[in-house]
Copies of this chain bind each other. A is one copy, B any other.
């Protein structure tokens, strides 16, 4: 069974648009950044990695599991952090939201223990019983991340997780993501954040136009944008 994330001649057509065209990739690095203009296909590429979007042609696999055939297994392996934490915090209170990620088959006490542990790690323990809407933007994104990490995924995919935050919160969330032991795929418009990854993909109009170390890849992107 091949490990890592493999995209094999992937095309995605949504409505009447070719959103991704002929993407071939093998992602094995620890931290991978993705940049590109609005509408270039970054989110679609990120969503392919956990089967939220399926290829119209070609194949995406994670550790040998085809996202089209083994959706649930892939999603247990790949955690996803969205841009808007409000959209992914689904339960009324902080602790409930983290607990919701855990399988119902775990004993109740074990679930409570893991929730408490996860909240302590990110410094949200004192907010456990608070309604999620009372958290600040940065705390909400931290909660969203916690609800992903509590399931111990092998890969974390984050689609512009700092876009809605200010400088201080951006730095905190970015630092946490980049320090994760897990493999990380990070879509971001914030070039300072992406500079901390090991490999950067530049997407433009549905195609991969650069794939390099952060330095040269981001130079390419800057030229593209000007």
- A interface with B by C-beta (< 8 Å): 36-39, 136-138, 163-171, 189, 225
A173 to chain B, nearest CB (A): 11
Contact of B37 with A225 in the complex, beta carbons under 8 Å: no
Q: List chain B residues, Cβ under 8 A from A166.
A: 36-38, 189
Q: How many copies does the complex hold?
A: 2
CA distance A167 to B164 in the complex (A): 15
Q: List chain B residues, Cβ under 8 A from A138.
A: 38
A39 to chain B, nearest CB (A): 5
Contact of B38 with A171 in the complex, beta carbons under 8 Å: no
Contact of A37 with B168 in the complex, beta carbons under 8 Å: yes
Q: List chain B residues, Cβ under 8 A from A37.
A: 166-169
Contact of A38 with B189 in the complex, beta carbons under 8 Å: no
Q: Which residue of B lies closest to A40 (CB)?
A: B166
Most buried by B among A165, A167, A168: A167
A221 to chain B, nearest CB (A): 8
Contact of A38 with B225 in the complex, beta carbons under 8 Å: no
Contact of A225 with B163 in the complex, beta carbons under 8 Å: no
